[in-house]
């Protein structure tokens, strides 16, 4: 969320006077695709005999969009609507034509700006960080030099790079956009992969260049293709006038001389620029759309069998969302020791979870083993009962067979004489 603008009143505000003029200062963004800052002084009509220091003045400063809206609102408060419209028109023209100024790169100014970005004053920061208030005041005011060790100390408490408190960031304009998924309709149709200038949209952005890749000839473009894996990423490259020998199968910016119309109507040409993956196949140069979601039948090839005027490989592709400092902390400034402690505790929690899982497995295994033994014992008892019953049945059957045999023997003895008598008859 952008910081709100701030206002400061100077001069004699007891007098009622008319807003008549303004002064504008713009400062470039200090984070990747961050917002610029603006400082506007509104000047009110001087009273007869009034000294310059007593002239009524209102200073509005903060994020440039918020400052712009606030100044326009103040201008429209003028009772004379004609003069208000004239002053508003003058302000809009001056605002558009005012370039970003190079801010002071003194360490004291950088430290003061960093505190402003976090919405902290010297008193609040001293209280929250434990820094001695007198030393901090001298460092912010420039009364005492900020050493390398002091910059490291402040940076640790402000959660920033110490270099940002010693040297100013370098910003360059993002001069062009590109859409990889569909055509962009402006004053003409820009097919997928073709770069179109910000001037076509009357919209200029600034980008902070990482220090390790900065050169005087570095340039930047932005991919604007919602739904693409490259959406909102910024591509950096160095200005080129010819073909780079080390650009095969790499993301590149290429320049191509193309006709402005059908050959039968005109022979005029212009240099156009494209972004894509450069390849050479059988002596032919192709520029392939790098986005995996592109329609391979319609937009796979951005340029096919073309003759490049120059080829400049992309040296860095950055996601501004991941790079921009998103610190929202106003009162809690984390330290490295707390981060390390958090990592240690998370590791211990993971070990405890593994131990619990292991114990649960061991417990479940023991319960299964005990249950198995119980079932085995019950099975043994049941088998013993079955064996006992089987033995009893066998004994009873044996006894019954013996009794039957005895009865059979007695019967044989009784019936034997009768068989003899019958035989005689």
Domain of 161: which CATH number?
A: 1.10.260.40
Helices (H), 33-132: 64-75, 81-97, 107-117, 122-129
- Same-domain status, 176 and 237: yes
Q: Is residue 249 part of a domain?
A: yes
- Same-domain status, 89 and 111: no
Domain termination site, one of 323, 355, 382: 323
**In whole angstroms, what is the distance from residue 70 CA to residue 62 CA?**
10
- What is each CA distance from 408 to 15, 70, 222, 396, 401, in whole angstroms? 147, 129, 116, 18, 10
Range of the domain at 23: 6-101
- Same-domain status, 45 and 97: yes
Cα angle value 388/392/393 (rounded, 5°): 115
- Same-domain status, 370 and 424: yes
Q: Report residue 143 as tokens.
A: 């009364």
Q: Is residue 111 part of a domain?
A: yes
* Total number of domains constituting the chain: 4
- The pLDDT of residue 327: 38
CB burial class (10 A; 0-12, 13-18, 19+) of residue 306? middle
- Same-domain status, 294 and 203: yes
- The pLDDT of residue 251: 93
Q: 258-313: per-residue pLDDT in tens?
A: 888 777 777 778 889 999 999 988 888 999 999 888 877 777 899 999 999 889 99
- Same-domain status, 190 and 310: yes
- The pLDDT of residue 333: 44
**In whole angstroms, what is the distance from residue 221 CA to residue 30 CA?**
18
Q: Is residue 331 part of a domain?
A: no
- Name the stretches of the chain with pLDDT < 50: 1-2, 200-203, 323-336, 425
- The pLDDT of residue 339: 53
- The pLDDT of residue 329: 36
- Same-domain status, 130 and 179: no
- Same-domain status, 13 and 58: yes
Domain termination site, one of 262, 297, 323: 323
Q: Is residue 42 part of a domain?
A: yes
The 3 state secondary structure assigned to 310-377 is: EEEEEEEEECHHHHCCCCCCCCCCCCHHHHHHHHHHHHHHHHHHHHHHHHHHHHHHHHHHHHHHHHHH
Q: Are strands 269-281 and 284-288 parallel, antiparallel or unpaired?
A: antiparallel
Q: Is residue 151 part of a domain?
A: yes
**In whole angstroms, what is the distance from residue 360 CA to residue 187 CA?**
69
**In whole angstroms, what is the distance from residue 284 CA to residue 278 CA?**
11
Report the predicted TM-score, pTM, of the whole model to 2 decimal places.
0.50
- The pLDDT of residue 425: 45
**In whole angstroms, what is the distance from residue 383 CA to residue 419 CA?**
51
Q: Phi-psi category of 11—alpha, beta or left, where left has phi over 0 and alpha has psi -120 to 50?
A: left
- Same-domain status, 244 and 317: yes
Q: Is residue 1 part of a domain?
A: no
**In whole angstroms, what is the distance from residue 62 CA to residue 68 CA?**
10
- Same-domain status, 421 and 374: yes
**In whole angstroms, what is the distance from residue 143 CA to residue 107 CA?**
11
- Same-domain status, 309 and 179: yes
- Same-domain status, 187 and 303: yes
- Ramachandran angles phi, psi of 169, nearest 5°: -70, 155
Q: Is residue 315 part of a domain?
A: yes
Domain termination site, one of 289, 323, 357: 323
Q: Is residue 329 part of a domain?
A: no
């Amino acid at each position: 969320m952008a910081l709100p603008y701030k206002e400061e009143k100077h001069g004699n505000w007891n007098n009622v006077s008319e807003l008549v003029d303004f002064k504008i200062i713009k400062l470039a963004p200090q984070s990747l695709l961050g917002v610029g800052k603006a400082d506007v002084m509104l000047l009110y009509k001087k009273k007869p005999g009034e000294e310059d220091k007593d002239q009524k003045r209102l200073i509005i400063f903060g994020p440039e969009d918020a400052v712009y809206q606030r100044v326009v609102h103040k201008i429209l408060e003028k009772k004379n609507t004609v003069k208000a419209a004239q002053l508003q028109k003058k302000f809009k023209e001056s605002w558009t034509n005012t370039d970003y100024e190079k801010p002071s790169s003194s360490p004291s100014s950088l430290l003061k700006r960093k505190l402003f970005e976090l919405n902290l004053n010297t008193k609040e920061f001293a209280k929250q960080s434990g820094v001695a208030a007198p030393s901090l005041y001298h460092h912010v005011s420039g009364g005492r030099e900020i050493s390398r060790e002091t910059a490291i100390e402040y940076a640790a408490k402000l959660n920033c790079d110490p270099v940002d408190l010693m040297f100013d960031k370098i910003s360059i304009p993002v001069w062009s956009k590109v859409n990889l998924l569909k055509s962009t309709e402006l004053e003409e149709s820009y097919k997928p992969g073709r770069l179109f200038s910000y001037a076509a949209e009357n919209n200029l952005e600034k980008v902070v260049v990482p220090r390790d890749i900065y050169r005087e000839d570095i340039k930047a473009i932005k991919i604007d293709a919602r739904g693409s894996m490259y959406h909102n990423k910024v591509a950096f490259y160095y200005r080129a006038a010819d073909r780079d020998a080390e650009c095969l199968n790499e993301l590149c910016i290429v320049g191509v001389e193309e006709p402005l119309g059908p050959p039968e109507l005109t022979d005029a040409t212009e240099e156009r620029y494209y972004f894509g993956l450069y390849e050479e196949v059988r002596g032919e140069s192709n520029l392939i759309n790098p986005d995996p979601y592109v329609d391979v039948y319609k937009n796979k090839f951005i340029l096919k069998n073309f003759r490049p005027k120059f080829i400049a490989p992309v040296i860095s592709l950055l996601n501004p969302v991941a790079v921009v400092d998103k610190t929202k902390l106003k009162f809690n400034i984390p330290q490295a020791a707390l981060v390390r402690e958090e990592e240690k505790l998370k590791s211990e929690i993971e070990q405890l979870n593994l131990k619990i899982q292991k114990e649960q497995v061991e417990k479940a295994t023991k319960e299964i083993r005990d249950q198995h033994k119980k079932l085995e014992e019950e099975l043994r008892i049941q088998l013993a009962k079955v064996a006992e019953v089987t033995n009893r049945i066998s004994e009873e059957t044996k006894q019954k067979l013996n009794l039957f045999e005895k009865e059979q023997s007695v019967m044989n003895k009784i019936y034997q004489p009768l068989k003899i008598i019958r035989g005689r008859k």
